[in-house]
């Protein structure tokens, strides 16, 4: 077999490139920004000056920095690019147009797929970092025009989550945050029994997905379900066995 490379590529074997916010929080296992979350190698790239505030505010002026970082990942050989904030989805269509590889910036891109799995009158419960910013513009950017069967629960009023994720105190009480996330999920499921699936929007939330599922007994989707799915399409496996 003959292998070839591109000039400037310094390593190989990383199919997924992940654009990171310019932030400082503990990235525990299960977090999108923790390399041990994945059963395969990934490549990270920080987007300079793309802060949490600019992400939640859906600041359009960060796009050039986002594009520059994404292009560097492409140069280093990744086959698809994702991000570590669901609010990056506001740039989804523009970045996908600019790059020659698949782009899937937001976990919210899974909404149409999830809706297709459940009854037409069922609902998808979305737990987000800030429900005030998960608006029609962001949903439209990820291909969702009908919000009627979405139930959105925010963590902006949850003290432990807000302190570590938004205020960036540098400290994370994982058990306390898990309790907050589970509490929001329980309340949503109790108030609207038509919720038949949960989507965790924020890239910081996959570590708590199992606890949410145990609490509400529903399918739980998050950034990691999306990344693993895309990886399985990018890097196909040959099968062995017997019949």
Domain ranges across the chain: 16-106+227-234, 107-222
Percent of the chain with pLDDT over 90: 94
Predicted local distance difference test score (pLDDT) of residue 4: 79
pTM listed for this prediction: 0.95
Give the largest Cα separation in the chain, rounded.
Answer: 59
Predicted local distance difference test score (pLDDT) of residue 9: 76
pLDDT tens digit sequence for 3-54: 878 777 777 889 999 999 999 999 999 999 999 999 999 999 999 999 999 9
Predicted local distance difference test score (pLDDT) of residue 3: 81
Could you give the CA distance from residue 164 to residue 161 in angstroms, rounded to a whole number? Answer: 6
Could you give the CA distance from residue 49 to residue 53 in angstroms, rounded to a whole number? Answer: 10
Say yes or no: domain 16-106+227-234 is CATH 3.30.750.24. no
Could you give the CA distance from residue 40 to residue 229 in angstroms, rounded to a whole number? Answer: 12
Same fold, 16-106+227-234 and 107-222: yes
Predicted local distance difference test score (pLDDT) of residue 5: 80
Considering only 5-19, 182-196, 208-222, which range has the smallest mean pLDDT? 5-19
Segment 174-187 mean pLDDT: 98
Q: Vertex 134, ends 168 and 224: CA angle to 5°?
A: 70
201 closest CA partner among 217, 188, 192, 214: 188
Average pLDDT, the chain: 96
pLDDT tens digit sequence for 69-104: 999 999 999 999 999 999 999 999 999 999 999 999
Predicted local distance difference test score (pLDDT) of residue 53: 93
Coil, strand or helix at 45: strand
Could you give the CA distance from residue 134 to residue 210 in angstroms, rounded to a whole number? Answer: 24
- C-beta of residue 215 within 8 angstroms of C-beta of residue 142: no
Say yes or no: domain 107-222 is CATH 3.40.50.1860. yes
């Amino acid at each position: 077999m003959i292998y070839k490379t591109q000039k400037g590529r310094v390593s190989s074997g990383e199919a997924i490139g992940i654009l990171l916010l310019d932030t400082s929080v503990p990235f525990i296992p299960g977090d999108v920004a923790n390399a041990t979350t994945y059963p395969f190698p990934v490549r990270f790239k920080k987007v300079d000056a793309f802060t949490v505030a600019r992400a939640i505010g859906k600041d359009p002026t960060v796009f050039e920095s986002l594009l520059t970082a994404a292009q560097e990942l492409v140069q280093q050989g990744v086959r698809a690019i994702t991000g570590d904030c669901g609010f990056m989805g506001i740039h989804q269509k523009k970045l996908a147009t600019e790059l020659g590889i698949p782009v899937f910036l937001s976990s919210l891109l899974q909404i149409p797929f999830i809706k297709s799995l459940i009854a037409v009158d069922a609902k998808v419960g979305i737990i987000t970092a800030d429900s005030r910013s998960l608006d029609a513009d962001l949903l439209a950017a990820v291909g969702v025009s009908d919000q009627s069967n979405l139930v959105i629960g925010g963590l902006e009023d949850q003290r432990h989550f807000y302190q570590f994720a938004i205020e960036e105190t540098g400290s994370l009480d994982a058990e306390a945050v898990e309790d907050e996330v589970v509490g929001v999920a329980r309340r949503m499921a109790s108030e609207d029994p038509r919720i038949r699936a949960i989507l965790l929007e924020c890239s910081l939330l996959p570590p708590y997905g199992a606890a949410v599922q145990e609490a509400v007994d529903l399918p739980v989707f998050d950034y990691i379900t999306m990344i693993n799915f895309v990886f399985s399409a990018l890097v196909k496996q040959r099968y062995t066995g017997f019949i």
